[in-house]
Amino acid sequence: MAIIRSLFHPKAAYFLEHCFPQKRAHRNRMIKHYRDFISAGDLVFDVGANLGERSKIFRALNAKVIAIEPTQYCSAYLVKLFRGDSNATVVSKALGEADGIGEISVNEKLPVLSTMSKKWSTESRFSKDYSWEKKEVISIVTLDSLIEQFGIPRFCKIDVEGFEFNVLSGLSQPIQFISFEFLNEFIGDAEKCVDRLNSIGSFVYNYNIGEEMDFALPGWTDSATLFRSIKEMNNPSLWGDIYARSIV
Q: What is the mean pLDDT of each run of 10 residues along the chain (248 residues)?
A: 39 47 87 97 98 97 98 95 98 97 87 81 77 89 98 98 94 98 93 98 97 95 98 92 95
| Predicted TM-score (pTM) of this structure | 0.89
Is residue 189 included in any domain, yes or no?
Answer: no
Of 53, 170, 67, the C-alpha closest to 112 is 53
CATH code of residue 62 = 3.40.50
Is residue 62 included in any domain, yes or no?
Answer: yes
Structurally, the chain folds into a number of domains equal to 1
Is residue 227 included in any domain, yes or no?
Answer: no
Residue 180 gets which letter from DSSP?
Answer: E
CB-based contacts of 2, cutoff 8 Å, min separation 6: none
Is residue 154 included in any domain, yes or no?
Answer: yes
Q: What is the pLDDT of residue 18?
A: 52
What residue numbers bound the domain in which 71 lies? 2-163+170-180
Is residue 87 included in any domain, yes or no?
Answer: yes
* Long-range residue pairs from 115-118, CB within 8 A, at least 24 positions apart, any chain: 115/160, 115/161, 115/162, 115/163, 116/160, 116/161, 116/162, 116/163, 116/166, 117/161, 117/162, 117/163
Is residue 228 included in any domain, yes or no?
Answer: no
Is residue 199 included in any domain, yes or no?
Answer: no
